[in-house]
Structure 1
Amino acid sequence: MDVIKDATVKRILVAGDVMLDRYWFGEVNRISPEAPVPIVRVEKREERLGGAANVARNAAALGVSAALMGIIGDDDAGNSVEKLLESSGIQSYLSRDPQISTIVKLRVIGRQQQLLRIDFEERPTEHVLRDKLNRFNSLLAGYDVIILSDYAKGSLVNVNAMIQAATEAGKLVLVDPKGSDFKRYAGASLLTPNKSELKQIIGDWASEEELIAKAQQLRQDLQIKALLLTRSEEGMTLFTADGVTHVPAMAREVFDVSGAGDTVIATMAVMLAQGKSMQEAVVIANRAGGIVVGKLGTATVTREELFPEAVQ
């Protein structure tokens, strides 16, 4: 199929907050006598790429050449991230910060349900962040599309300078935003907030007309080409200068929404790198998001799942 046939010649650089997702799976057969909590007898452990690393993993799963910039600690979790990147075929440009620990999200799963999540995180030091911006600028020329994956963990404090450098280099810049100030993302090609993230910026809306007016005003104020609102069971809505495109959610059982936003922005980047329009890319990204929420934990979508007709 032409949409994916030459994906390997396209190169996508992901920069942002890198994490390691750990899963402990076990059986729950009784309640603790010490407190009213379930006892999980751990039977299996698994590690997966999380945060910006999951975005890169999703891009690589769709056949492009993906690279990852970010910061990890000089620890076992950081070593695990590097090994997982290598096994996924992702080029690593990670910086080691010996003064912090790698961000880890530990999820305890019992009977296919998430019972508990424990987060371990520290913000990177200023010295490492300075070096990261220099490296980003040196890598820009070699990539077609840039994804900035912001989880508000401190790796993208220079995000405005990164966007400016990338746009000046003529690159498409896709941003998964966080926080109460989107001004720092001004000039990007595409922002992909979810409903709660957008409400922090523009407030609530009483009607679809009010949402469109507020979203389009924000897009114009920030001088971004497109704003993609992911709306869970309501689907996705794309706001551009050409108008509004709404794609309804796929009718399928939602098993786990972890990392669904990572899949959406990665799919958008791959499709745009292949020359698809924003409107065409949104339809395909919506399909990818619908597939990945049917899987447990942070997961990816393959080209065969996304385009089954191409492999028949």
Structure 2
Amino acid sequence: MDKRPSVLVIGDLMLDRYITGTASRLSPEAPVPVILYQSNEDRPGGAANVALNLVAMGCDVTLVGVIGEDAEGELLLSLLLSPHIDTSNIEADSQRPTTSKTRIMAGAHQVARVDREIASDVWEHHAHTFLRLVRKMLRPESIGGHPFDAVVFSDYAKGVVTEDLVRKAVENARFCGEDGIPVIVDPKRKDFRAYKGATLITPNVAEIQLATGKSVGSNEEASTVAQDVAERYECSVLLTRSEKGMLLCDKENGLKTMLITSRPVSVSDVSGAGDTVVAAVAAGLARGLDLEAACRHAEVAAEIAVSKPGTSIVTEAEIIKREAAA
């Protein structure tokens, strides 16, 4: 049996909660629907969702992040129990809650969302711990080797992913293995300079427009902006564009851009689709695919993800099946 690729995932851990019911009338107290409760469900979100998607795509994962010392944190850890996920490097913090997003659903329609979080940077103690982990885990083979085939930063701007942490990971990853190992970032910051030197960043339209102040509506605009970002921050860019598919700007190929079109799909929910994309790219690169092939693999994974309700897991078997049916 081939060895499973191993991926280091660092980022913001979340608990996605869904309370589902039916709505047939408005409240007499306010112009809002009354939801008659039917069920509730908890799912891992953020970096935790990336980890579960990577496992479903055939990878082993070491997960780094912060949870609160609360029931939500304990529940999130229980949802991550897997022989393929190492959660021993998740830090508990008594001063901040486990980030949670509670969605109120009327059937398939979201009518409200309640967030519980502290988005400021994690305590200096945690930041130093994560820096030490990166130094220890991403070492040149000449001084002990490294166990990873790719590194993912799942940055939801909740305080775990710092500029120093990304810089150290990018710096160390260059010297791991013969050609280094890829560092992939799912960005949420208003400024991409923290990700400078990464192998690939995967912004969506809203994120790249916020970071650059430029429109990416047309293919020409998207290509120009992606090239500017790739050149400025010395990284390739995979711009996800919903029904328009994706646009890849390959830094290693002279900033060449290419469109990766999507096939028609019935969209159920876009929650977590970005997590699936970064997981699929990382899984592909960890297996040795070139960047274009890994990104095409990710587009297929995204098509599957948005066809499922809520934060969902996409398996390697599902991707292969959809690719074969194309």
Deviations 1:42-65 (A, max 9, x none): 221111000011011110111111
Gaps of 5+ in 1: none
Q: Aligned equivalents of 1:206 and 1:118: distance in 2?
A: 31
Aligned AA (1:159): V
Query: Alpha-carbon deviation of 1:233?
Result: 0.8
Q: TM-score if structure 1 supplies the norm length? A: 0.92
Aligned AA (1:162): A
Q: Give the structure 1 partner of residue 141 of structure 2.
A: none
Q: Give the structure 2 partner of residue 45 of structure 1.
A: 40
Secondary structure of the corresponding residue to residue 300 of structure 1? coil
Q: Aligned equivalents of 1:168 and 1:116: distance in 2?
A: 47
**Corresponding residue to 2:209 among 199, 202, 206:** 199
Q: TM-score if structure 2 supplies the norm length? A: 0.89
Secondary structure of the corresponding residue to residue 80 of structure 2? helix
Q: Aligned equivalents of 1:200 and 1:309: distance in 2?
A: 33
Check the 8 A contact 2:222/2:247 in 1, yes or no.
Answer: no
Q: Aligned equivalents of 1:287 and 1:60: distance in 2?
A: 17
Superposed, 1:99-178 pairs within 5 Å as: 99-122=95-118, 123=120, 124-140=122-138, 141-157=146-162, 158-169=165-176, 170-178=180-188
Deviations 1:209-246 (A, max 9, x none): 3432332132122111x210000011001111422221
Q: Give the structure 2 partner of residue 17 of structure 1.
A: 12
Q: Give the structure 1 partner of residue 226 of structure 2.
A: 215
Matched, 1:276 2:289: yes
Q: Using the aligned pairs only, state the percent identity.
A: 39
Deviations 1:2-40 (A, max 9, x none): xxx83x521011100110111111122321111111111
Aligned AA (2:269): D
Gaps of 5+ in 2: 139-145
**Does the C-alpha gap of structure 1 residues 168 and 292 become closer, same or farther in structure 2, counting only changes over 3 Å?**
same
Check the 8 A contact 1:192/1:230 in 2, yes or no.
Answer: yes
Q: Considering only aligned residues, what root-mean-square deviation do their CA atoms show, in Å?
A: 2.0
Query: Alpha-carbon deviation of 1:164?
Result: 2.4
Aligned AA (2:90): L
**Does the C-alpha gap of structure 1 residues 207 and 277 become closer, same or farther in structure 2, counting only changes over 3 Å?**
same
**Does the C-alpha gap of structure 1 residues 309 and 155 become closer, same or farther in structure 2, counting only changes over 3 Å?**
closer
**Does the C-alpha gap of structure 1 residues 114 and 310 become closer, same or farther in structure 2, counting only changes over 3 Å?**
closer
Check the 8 A contact 2:21/2:105 in 1, yes or no.
Answer: yes
Q: Give the structure 2 partner of residue 256 of structure 1.
A: 269
**Does the C-alpha gap of structure 1 residues 9 and 81 become closer, same or farther in structure 2, counting only changes over 3 Å?**
same
Secondary structure of the corresponding residue to residue 9 of structure 1? coil
